[in-house]
Amino acid sequence: MNRAILPLIATLMLLGPSLTVAAECKFSEESVDPDSDKKILATKMVGISTAMATINGYVQGVSIGEDKFLSVGLRAKNNYPIPPELGINLAESSKREETGRYDPRLDTLLSQFENDALFVPAGSTLRITMEDRSVVVLTAYKDKRSRSEGKKPQHDGNDSSNFFIKSQVQPLYALNEDALNVLTSRLATSMRMETNDRYYEFASRMNVHYPLTWGKKNGQKFQEAVNCVL
């Protein structure tokens, strides 16, 4: 064998796993940040299991220049009750709505719930539990409000007093070197996202005697998203 080729083969053998990871990376977005002129590169979104049927989650690795982020998407359906202190009578309001004289406070509340649903303030936490039970805590990079749409309560004989709100939010969480080292060397098993008024669990409880976990397959998909922005 030509001796000049040996160093090249040795180099390729060392780079083999990295090249394989790079070859498997799938990117959905490549653009330029208008504020900083930095290049933005984002992996394709991958779905992640959640603890409730009313929420869906997904993750995405994002790099903006040299800065690395984890983008976590959440779609949720929530009910918000009418504050009892307002004394809104749904039956009376429904009758008035038929004649065009409905209670305008319902519209005000709907707008308020749509604006506030799934608001992720800057600095709020994302707790990622790893397979060895260690925890990585990331913080939201910026305030992120959801895109939401909702329905007002309806007087249908059951006197339901809840607003039904569907929301979608996708905050960015900064990844420092320590977090990257952990997330790329071990599999994650669950996440807990903090929002303005509640927490959302990304995992599935298979048995009440075991902790929340989303399984090895989801852990691998999560790790691939992080690997691809290194």
Residues 102-141 have pLDDT tens digits of 677 777 888 887 777 888 999 999 999 999 999 999 999 9
Dist. CA 156–CA 178, nearest whole Å: 54
Q: Which residues of 89-108 are buried (b: 16+ CB within 10 A; e: fewer)?
A: ebeebbeebeeeebbeebee
- pLDDT computed for residue 14 by the predictor: 36
The structure tokens listed for 180 are: 């990257």
User: Are the C-beta atoms of residues 223 and 188 closer than 8 Å to each other?
Assistant: yes
Instruction: Name the pTM for this structure.
Output: 0.74
**Any idea which residue has 């009750």 for tokens?**
81
Cβ neighbors of 227 (< 8 A, separation 6 or more) are: 21, 25, 61, 184
215 three-class SS: helix
What type of residue is 35?
D
**Share above pLDDT 70 across residues of the chain, in percent, rounded to a whole number:** 72
* Residue-range domain boundaries for the chain: 27-227
Higher pLDDT, 49 or 112: 112
In this predicted model, what pLDDT tens digit does every residue of 57-93 receive, in sequence order? 888 899 888 899 999 998 888 888 877 777 676 666 6
